[in-house]
Each structure stands twice: as structure tokens, then as C-alpha cells.
Structure 1
Amino acid sequence: MYKIPPELKKILKKVSTLPGVYKMIDKDDQIIYVGKAKNLRKRVHTYFQNGKTTLPKVTVMRDKVVNIETTITRSELEALILETNLIKSLRPRYNVLMKDDKNYVYVKIDQKEDFPETHIVRRFSRDGSTYFGPYTSADSILRTLKALQKIFPYRSCQGEITEVTPGNNIFKHLSRRAPCLDFYIKRCDAPCISKITKEEYHKHIEAICTILAGNYHHLEKDWQEAMQRAVHTKEFEKAAKLRDRIQALQVLSEKQYATLTSGHNQDVLAVAKDKEHVVISLFMVRNGHVVQTEHFNLSDYAKGTDPAQIISAFMQQYYVDATSLPKEIVTSIAIPEKKLLEDFIGGIKGQRVQILLPERGERKQLMEIVEENAKLQLESSKKAWEREYMFTTKALEDLQKALKMKKLPRRIECYDISHISGTDKVGSMIVFIDAKPATNMYRTFTVKELAEGINNDFASLQEVLSRRIKYLDANYRQKKKRRKEKSDTVSLPQVPDLIIIDGGKGQLSSVIRVLKAELKAGTKATLPMIVSLAKREEEIFFPGKKEPLLLEKDSPALFLIQRIRDEAHRFAISHHRSLRSKKMIRSRLDTIPGIGPKNKKKLLTTFGSVHGIRDATMQELVTCVGEKLAETIREQL
């Protein structure tokens, strides 16, 4: 029987009865769950009651809770909005989450531009651009855009093109006399050399937006009428182009699953789950036609949750960033707090929305199709999930066991050095969180203490790890902040569970020696477990131990640390190459004080080369960069 710890009992007694949001916190001060309630005290107490109906997820989670924080709101709707924002930003471990939301993509078109570009982006921003999505498959939407480019040629080049007058366009930062290959293969109408006007180009973009929004059939009807008019006026070339467009559009729309006679705009959601996994299938119906289907894998912590709560949590997260909202959302199961969720979703987009449970007719028939698709997606994804489990959770558990660690190594850092004969020495720090690369946490170090040309990997690693470990000291971070020095506040302050050095016994012992010296010198930090991985036999060395550890050749733990080591090596080499290439393309202008990237670009755009700058008159230089800098350039060149 579960007993509430005394400290937690005191916290529970102080919880308010007002509406608001609660955050459950573990011993590492990490927020592991966020929830909302109309009555905070009543809701929070339900997690700590004994009973047969307690879900396994709740049993596991409550054992980890050491503190509860609450935020009072004015209403339950306000609490729901705050809860959604917190889940999105904090991604608590025990909340139902859309898996790998960074893998979802949007199509972005900025229609405010004269000649808009079409981008595939990973994030939805409220920047005034038109967005479509999210799509779960980047390949699928890329194929759709390529098909659309055949019908409506649009530019794929980067850079701003503006129309001065119709038929006179300017491509900023690039002077182009001839179009690129896309023009000759009929994939672009070459606005860069004024082959198309702004008005004509925007008609293409509007048609692309109409199709991406799912309005195929209005467009097809308009084209049919335009084609008939062209035939009557004997404009056969125009009629042929419209015929080709209609045929291409029909090919695109053939992917539709079903048609509803009602002509409604609605999203149809169904959930499928087994003991281990959860999938939500979404069919987007626009003007009575299913124009898009998506399947979303939810986090493992959804598996012990009621299906109604899963769909409710999904809608909270999905519709915050969804680019279109229908009038109806049809779900496979009745949703608790339906009115609250309708107000929340409708409030985001500024329109009324209904959440419906189909009972008969077309909606019910379509729901059966969506449910069947969800089940098929669940089955087809099982092999991929099993493989992911082997490479992530199983690998971490095996590594914890092999290294005899007290807790799972959720954050692993790996370090490597790259240089050529001691020049341009750099160190790399890569981070894996839950056995997956966290690229936003990667960091590079330029080795400063060793002179150029001195090849000493031991000393380089010592410098890199010494600088890294200082960031675990709060006093060191505060000192840098007071001095207004550049300081990392995202990755380096986080404590790793495991550090891997790319190297053998010598590299490991030299690093341990310098880190112990740092601690003796006053750095207040606790060293995590540190090991090194030697390449030849894949031996794992431990501090103070002569014999290395050899993992089984087919061990998931070995595959994981090899992946981590190889990634550190790749990252170090790529940064080293970047430094060398910058040196190689370094201009004579870089040595002149006062010339930054902007002035350098302005000078080279105006005069073409350093030789052209040297031959320019004083008046020309003054006009370009001002009198003071012009005099400096004259002196230096």
C-alpha cells in the first residue's frame, strides 16, 4: 500500500481549491508532469490515493514526486491554455506527447513578397506568412510540391526579387543575365530575369495555396470553364495548357480516400493502442473530400492512459500549431470536458468549432475507415518501434548495467579533438539525451593554450574538459554573468550522467588528473562517471583500473557508444574543416580595421574585387563607406 511521504503531505494540505495548473517535480528538480484542474486540491489528491483503478503510469510517477508547484488561474479555460503552453515548452516525461515533433514539417509561403519562395520548415511561426501542415512525412509533401511545380512553375532559388515596374524585376545580391536550369525544364518562369510579372506569379502562388488548402474541385471547375472559353476564342495554346493543368490536378486528387455528399469541412480523429504503443490517425476533410491523412505516434506514457484523455491531450497540442481549423472535429470516442476544449481550440483560431461523436450516416462510415487506418498504422509501425527500443531504451539499460551505474545515463557527453599537424585545433562536445542526439546541445571549443603547430591531444583534451567542468560550478557562471562575458546557459550548465572520451587509457588518465586539480583549486562540481573508448578493440577504460571492459559485439550498449563516439568524431572534423575553409577564403579586407561583413559585402558588390577597390577614387570610396573608413582603406591598400 502506498504511503504519502511526510514532506509531500504538508505540500498537499496547502494546495488551493481554485482552478489552475499543477507541476509535479522529482528529486532532480525536473518537472515530470503538468496538469490542470477546476479544483486543484481535489485533482492533485487523486494521484496519491490507493485503489484498484489507479493506472500503472500514475503508480510509477507518484513514487518519483518529491514536490508539487501550483499556479492559480482565473478560470478553467485559462488553466487549459497555461497547461498546453507548459507541456509544449517543458515536454514533461509523464505527459502524453506527440513523438519527435521536430520531425513534423510545414509548407511556408510569404505572400507579402513580390515573388514568394516556397519553403519546407520545421516550425510554425506567427510571422504573417501562410503555413500549411503539419505533415508527418517530409518526403510526401516534397513530392506534392514537385508535382505542383510542374503545373505552376515557381522559383526554388533563394534571395529577394522585387518588381520595379511590370516586366522589370531586380534580384537583390545577385546579377543574373540568364535563367537557371529550372527555366529550361519548365519548372520556373524566371522572375530573376523579368520573364514573368508579379501579378502572373502571384496567380501561380494563389493556386498552389488553394490546392494545399484542399480546394481542388473549385479550381478544377474554374479551369474547365476557362478552357472552354479559350477553345471558343480559338486560343488553342492556352486551352492546351489548361487541359494539362486539369489532368495533373486530377492525378494529385486521385490520392483521396473518400468523398462526403455533405460537403463539410471536418477533421476526423481515431485512436488505436495496444499494451505498448499509441497511434492517432487524422483525416482532413475539406469541401466534402478527404484531402490529407496523417498518422501521429504518441509517447510511451500514453499507453497507460484512457483513450479519451489521449485524444484530448493530442488536440490540445496539435491545434495550437495547426494551420487550418475546420468547423467540426469528429472523434472516435466521447471527449470529457468537451465544451472546455471547444472554447480552447476555437479561441486559438478565433472561430467556433464543434467536437462531435458520430452515431450514424456518412460521418460514422468515414470514422470506420479512419479507425481501420489507425489499426493498420499501429501494426505496420511495430517493427520500427522494436528497432528504436533496441537502439534507445534497451541500449541505455545495458550500458547502465555494464558500467555498474546507479541510474540510467540519460545525458551522455562525448569529447574528441581534431587538427592537422597541431594547427587549427578544436574540441567537440556532442550530447545524446535518452540515446538520441540533441544537436542543440552540441558545443565546440577552440584550443587556446597550445601554440599553433604543437600536436598534443592529451593537453588539448585536458584544456577542453577543464573549461567544460567549470560550467558545473554555479559560482563560475555567476562570475561570468557579473562580468557580462559570453556564457552558455543552455547546455554546459547541465550535469551529464556519463562522459565518454574518444581515446585510450592515456587520454583518460590525463583528463582525470586535470579535473581533480580543478576541484582542488576550488571548482565546486561533482564529477560524473568518465570513461574512454579506444577505437581498435572498442575497449572501455575506467579511471584507476588497469583492465578495460569489452562489451559483446552484438550488444545494443556497444552500438550506442560507437554511434556516440563516431558522432563526436564527425562533429569535430566538420568544425575543423569549417575553420580551415574560412582561413583559406580570408580576404585582404579582413585585415583592415573597421571593415566588418556588411562593409566588406558593400565594397565587393560595388567594386568587384580588392584590385577594383585599390583602383577606386577617394570620392567613390567615400560614397560607398564614408570618409573615415575610406581613408583607412587608402592607407592599408
Structure 2
Amino acid sequence: MPDPATYRPKRSHIPTSPGVYRFSDPDGRVLYVGKAKNLRARLSSYFQDPSGLNPRIRTMVYSASAVKWTVVTSEIEALTLEYAWIKEFEPRFNVMYRDDKSYPYLAVSLSEQVPRVYVTRQAKRRGSRYFGPYTKVWAVRETLDMLLRVFPVRTCTAGVYRRAAASGRPCLLRYIDKCSAPCVGRISPDDHRALVDSLCDFMAGRTQGITERLHAEMLEAAAAEEFEKAAARRDDLTALATVAEKNTLVLAENVDADVYALEVDELEAAVQVFYVRAGRVRGHRGWVTDRIDDASPEELIERLLTQMYGERADVSLRPRRTKRSVDDIDHLSIDAIPPEILVPVLPTDSATMTRWLGELRGAKVRLRVPERGAKRTLMETVHANAKAALKLHRTKRAGDLTARSAALEELQDNLDLTEAPLRIECFDVSHTQGTNQVASMVVFEDAIPRKADYRHLIIRGENGDGAADDTAAMSEVLRRRFSRLAATIGEQSPAEDDGEPTDDIPTSGAVDPETGRPQRFAYRPQLVVVDGGLPQVNAAQRTLDELGVDIPIIGLAKRLEEVWIPGENFPLILPRTSAALYLLQHLRDESHRFAISFHRKRRSGAMTRSALDNIPGLGPSRQAALLKHFGSVKAIRAASLAELQEVDGVGPALAASIAAALAPPPADSQASDHTTSS
């Protein structure tokens, strides 16, 4: 671990101007990014007596090997550059506010011939329309259930839809009038799409025409003494009124504001924000983050606003947009910067922050702490949400910084490592009786998954048909991974140090010298874990020795959860309540999950391979064109050469290849084969 004295810059070399600085490790990876009004005063504070530093800051300073800075002309430039660097390098010692959950949406698959409506938390897909986000999944399901009374559109998956169409029998939703059953022809695709369009119109806020139509139908049915139909329309109106029920008016109707609240303790900080548009709460979000230093509430609010509105800058620079809600009220979109931002405390440099927000919005922004009245009352409500969120988060110890640190320290002690393994890589192999062999590499940093660095690997073996056994497969995986690491680092030379601080990013294996961005696969782990016992871990160690890679390696066996160390005849047994064992189990289970999901995907693809796949010159697009034209492989096999050439992209030579490949074997050949096998 580097000594801060080895890279501490001379005080006289550090300018007193405003600027942005970054600490980086021996691999060139950026560990921390910060800004300062006075770079000399701020950087000098990091090199004081280590006992006076916050434990996390002390760890950062001792993990780093260099500090660089960039001088800017104004504090607003420093704020902008700090945000850009945090977003680009994702330093693990910076506070990053992330959602404490994913939010459900109501999605409509408009790209399908018969669209379906469903609830999802996944990223948005092309060809679908999304409404939300909702704060609770039960809320969106309840909304969908009420909407289906009025708009009985399809909600089933593609597989259920195909089975119903094949059997000619609709599902239960048809019999309780919550689906119009397009699968069995009870409604035409065009009429069904009209229903879907009406649902989308209602969710987009165009409610007046729909409610007026239902009200008229109710009156007509009542006048014709069709009381059951009138009652059904009445219930439909009630359901729609429930969905479109107005939000509570919390502020004046002309108020657009974001209201933030903060609750902190020694380890973590919880943030809640309510988006008030046209005086009503249109949505809210929540975060819980680690407190990595002794940052004051003012500094935490400054970091929060920088990240929140830096991410929305591109949206805010577009023309001001309004949105119509389900209660037919026009309001500013919640993803735009509002004219007023209410915070529990003003940020450290509120004047600079206000000017920066004004530049992003293109208009004046007011940043203030409410003292009394309705805004203060709303602030107390938001704070109550933040307090409850932090209390709930404390019960989830998986994210506890103290527990993670204890697990890493326990691993260091039990494995006799020179430093805590801040980056751990785990490898697992998955196959079915030697077929479709794949492997996974998962990465944990600071004892939590870093999913952006996960990798899938396909096992090829010496002859391209897979490895002979699990140990050979693991050896291949490790050889490929660490050969690439050695090649990446070996191709570059460390930057020459002339004693003068510069803004150049160190050209180590972890950083591209041309772009300055981190490279994939170039970070060196402090610990390697393989799934298996002594044979697997000994084979893995031999591979690393052959490559000249000096990285500690262990194996975790499933049966008794023993930790195997290369060359040892007996395993290391960790207590069942050990935080280190929990971490290793989590790592092993995550690598197993990642490997087996990829294996299943490849196995399914292999099982569904078509006879067209082995025809030279026939790629996926031409296969799709043939199947679309003929409908099946059987019909393609029966087609003549002239008929095959009617398909776009199929010429005489390719048509002949298709016909030859799909032609049945000669009868005498079949008889001979049968005789031989019997």
C-alpha cells in the first residue's frame, strides 16, 4: 500500500486558484474526485496526521499513489468539471446517489400486431409506450385491474396467447370480462388496437371524451331500461374516476418545485425528493448512500444537487415542456429543472449553485430553505419519508459499510494477505455433460457486486469442441483472463515523473493513454476465487504460475463451505457466522447464477437451431426472408429452384445450395445406414 509521503506534492507547487483534483491508484484508476475554491488549502488537508482523518478518507489516501489537479477560472466551471469527472470515472470513494429501488411502469407493446399491457421494471424498449413510474408495484397493478374493466385489452404473454389461439379456448380473464379475447377472434385486431389506443389516451390525460361517452351510454341504457348495462357503465366511470383521482393540493396551483429532505447518521445518508407540479405531488424518489467522509449536510446537499441536475441538464436545455396529467392539469415535466428548489439546508456555496442551476435551466432558479407555512409543512412530510427510509435501510445489513469492511478485514487476516482485497474476481464453469461449456467472471469491489465488469466466456478447448474436464475449463478461463491483463499492462509504460505536477492521467494498464478513460479487464484483482475444492484450486494456481501472475487464489467448496488454499492438505474452516464467509458465499452464488443463466441461454439456442443454419451463404436475414415467404422449413424443402429464387437475396447458386442441403438422403443410403446400425 503506497505511503502518502511518496506522492505528496510540495505545498508551493499547488496553486491557490479554484480547481478540480483527483486521486488515482497505482493502476491509474481514479479513486476520488473533488473541487475546491483553494486547491492548496484543500489538498494540504489530505496529508495531515492520518489519525485525524476519517477512516474512509484515510483508506483512500493510502490506496492512492498520485494526485493531479486542473485549475479553472470560476467556481461554476469547477462544479461542472467535477460532475463530468465523477460521471466518467465513477470513483468508488465519491458519494453516488442511486435509487434505493427500481420503479414499476405500465407498458403497452404497440409494436405487436395485437398489443399487450403489462407491468414492468425493465429498461424501456423500442416500440413500447410507458406510463409512470409508480412508487409501488401494487399501485400500478391496482390501476391496471381497474382499467381492464373499461378497456379489456390483452395482458397475457406471447406463449399464453399462442396456446389459447391453438386450442381455441380463451383464458379466465375473458370470462370475467377483463379481456376481449383477440386470441380466439372474439374481437378483430383493428378493434383491439382501438381499445389499446383509448387506454393510452386515458393514461396520457385525454379523459374528458372517454368519460363523456361512458356517461352518455349509461344514460341511454337507463332510458332503455337496460339496467345491467347502465350499472356496468356506472362501475366503469367509478373505476376511471379512481384511477384519475386528483392528487392532494399541497401548494398553490402555480407552484412548480422540487422538495428535498435529508436524514443522516454516522454511516449513511437518506434522501427523499417530492416533485411538486401545479401545486400537486406528481412523484417522488428516494436514495440511501454511504457517508464516506465527515461531509456536513451542506456538502451532502451540494453533491446531491450537482448529480441530480447535472444528469438532467440535457433535458433542461431543450425548450420548456409541459405535460398533461390524468387529472387534466397542465404542468411542468418532472424531469425538467423547476423554478424553485426547496432544501433542508443551503449548500456550501449556494450562490455558485444557484447561478449554475440558472444556466442549466435558462431562467432564474430560486434555492431556499422554507421556514413556515405550507412549504415548511411539506418539507416535514418529506423528511419523515427520509427518516423512515433510513430506518428501514438499517435493517438491511448487506449494504452496511461497517459489515463490508469487517468482511474484507477478516478475509485479509484469515488468508494472510498484505492488504484488504478491495477487488475480488470469482470464476465458475457451467455445462451439461460436457456440452455448451461456458464460464462466468463476476467482480466485487468493496464487497459489493460491480456488474459492469461481469463477463461471460465460452469454453473452446484445444480442438474447439470444449475442454476435457472442469479443471481444464477453469485453466482456459484463467489463462485467457490473465494473459489479457498481462498484455494490456505490458504494452504500456508508466508515465515519467519529472517531479512537476501535471494534469496528465497516468498511462498505466488501467487507463487508455489516448482517451484517458478506464480500460476493461485491465484492473488487477487482489484475490481470485474459483468454485471448487483442492483439485480445482491447485489447477488454477498452476495456470497462474505458468503465466507469472502473483495473485492470491482460493477455492470455495459447496458441500461444507470449506475454503481451499493451493498446496494445503486441509481446508480453512470459517465460522458459520463469519462475515467473510457470507461474502464468499455471495460471490460464489453470484458467479454460479451468472454462469448457469448464460449456459441455459446457449443450450436453448442449440436446441432450437434450424436446418437452415448449416447452409453456407444463408445468414439470419435470408433465413428470416425464406421463412416469411414459405412459412416453414418443410415448405422450403418442397419448393422448386424457381420458387426459391422468388425470395429477395436468393440467387440461382444459393437456391441450388438450399435445395441440395434440404434434399432427403437417397433411399439406398437410408437402407444401408439402417442395416449398419442394426
Asked if these proteins are the same fold (TM beyond 0.5), I'd say: yes
Give the paired residue count. 594
User: Separation in 1 of the partners of 2:340 and 2:108?
Assistant: 26
Q: Give the structure-2-normalised TM-score.
A: 0.74
1:606-617 alignment runs, 5 A limit = 606-617=629-640
CA distances 1:393-416 after superposition (whole Å, capped 9, x unpaired): 433332222212222222222223
- Aligned partner of 1:207 in structure 2 is 202
The aligned amino acid for 1:309 is E
Hey, what does 1:532 align to over in structure 2?
555
Query: How do residues 475-624 of structure 1 correspond to structure 2 at under 5 angstroms?
Result: 491-519=520-548, 526-624=549-647
| Distance in 2 separating the partners of 1:428 and 1:251 | 48
Q: Tell me the secondary structure at the aligned position of residue 332 of structure 1.
A: coil
Aligned partner of 1:162 in structure 2 is: none
Q: Does 1:362 align with 2:374?
A: yes
Distance 1:111 1:20 in 2: 49
Inter-partner Cα distance in structure 2 for 1:346 and 1:149 = 44
Aligned-residue Cα RMSD (Å) equals: 4.4
Aligned match of 2:419:
407
Residue number among 438, 441, 445 corresponding to 2:458 in the alignment: 445
Q: How does 1:123-272 map to 2 (within 5 A)?
A: 144=143, 185-186=177-178, 193-196=189-192, 201-210=196-205, 243-244=234-235, 246-252=237-243, 259-262=250-253, 264-272=255-263
Q: Which runs of 5+ in 1 are unaligned?
A: 160-170, 211-218, 480-488, 520-525
1:575–1:34 distance in 2 versus 1, CA, 3 Å: same
Question: Structure 1 residues 266, 150: CA separation in 2 closer, same or farther (over 3 Å shift)?
Answer: farther
User: For structure 2, which runs of at least 5 residues remain unmatched after alignment?
Assistant: 313-333, 493-517, 663-678
Q: Name 2:506's counterpart in structure 1.
A: none
Is the contact between residue 286 and residue 386 of structure 2 (CA under 8 Å) also seen in structure 1? yes
Q: 1:590 Cα shift?
A: 0.8
2:311 is the counterpart of 1:311: no
| CA contact 1:269–1:280 (8 Å) conserved in 2 | yes
For residues 585 and 579 of structure 1, the distance between their equivalents in structure 2, rounded to whole angstroms, comes to 10
Alignment of 1:443-482 (within 5 A): 443-449=456-462, 455-474=468-487
TM superposition shift of 1:591? 0.8
Alpha-carbon spacing, 1:397–1:197, altered in 2? closer, same or farther (3 Å): same
C-alpha contact 2:259 2:379 (8 A) present in aligned 1: yes
Offset at 1:555?
Answer: 1.6
AA paired with 1:463?
A: E
Distance 1:122-1:73 versus aligned 2 partners, 3 A rule: farther
1:5 partner amino acid: A
State which drifts further: 273-282 or 438-447: 438-447
**Alpha-carbon contact 1:223-1:246 (below 8 Å) kept:** no
Report SS of the residue matched to 1:381: helix
Kept in 2: contact 1:470–1:476 (CA 8 A)? no
Per the TM alignment, residue 178 of structure 1 is displaced from its structure 2 partner at its CA by 8.4
The answer as to whether partners of 2:459 and 2:467 remain within 8 angstroms in 1 is no
The 1:5–1:461 alpha-carbon spacing in structure 2 relative to 1, beyond 3 Å, is closer
Q: Are residue 274 (structure 1) and residue 265 (structure 2) matched? A: yes
Alignment partner of 1:432 out of 434, 444, 448: 444
Aligned CA distance change for structure 1 residues 566 and 276 (closer, same or farther; 3 Å): closer
In structure 2, what is the equivalent of residue 30 of structure 1?
A: 29
Q: Residue 630 of structure 1 corresponds to which residue in structure 2?
A: 655
Greater relative contact order (Cα < 8 A, sep 6+): 2
Any conservation in 1 of the 2:256–2:340 contact (CA below 8 Å)? yes
Name the CA shift for 1:635/1:300 in 2 (closer, same or farther; >3 Å).
same
1:532 is displaced (CA, Å) by: 1.7
SS in 1 for 2:417: coil
Calculate the TM-score normalised by the size of structure 1: 0.78
User: 1:92 and 1:129, CA in 2 relative to 1: closer, same or farther beyond 3 A?
Assistant: farther
What residue identity is the alignment partner of 1:504?
A: G
Q: 1:49 to 1:243 in 2, by over 3 A?
A: farther
Distance 1:70 1:106 in 2: 43
Give the Å deviation of 1:576: 3.2
Amino acid at match of 2:200: I
The CA deviation at 1:235 is 8.5
Question: Could you tell me how far 1:636 is from its partner in structure 2?
Answer: 2.6
Which AA in structure 2 matches 1:510? A
CA distance in 1, matches of 2:429, 2:52: 54
Partner of 1:332: 344
Do the aligned partners of 1:417 and 1:461 also contact (CA within 8 Å) in 2?
yes
Instruction: Give the deviation of 1:558 after TM superposition.
Output: 1.7
- State the match for 2:434 in structure 1: 422
Contact 2:425–2:444 at 8 Å: present in 1 too? yes
The 3-state SS of whatever aligns with 1:494 is coil
Cα deviations by residue, 1:309-354 (Å, 9 ceiling, x for unpaired): 2122222223325634433221122234335434544555656543
Instruction: Output the CA distance in 2 between the equivalents of 1:508 and 1:541.
Output: 7
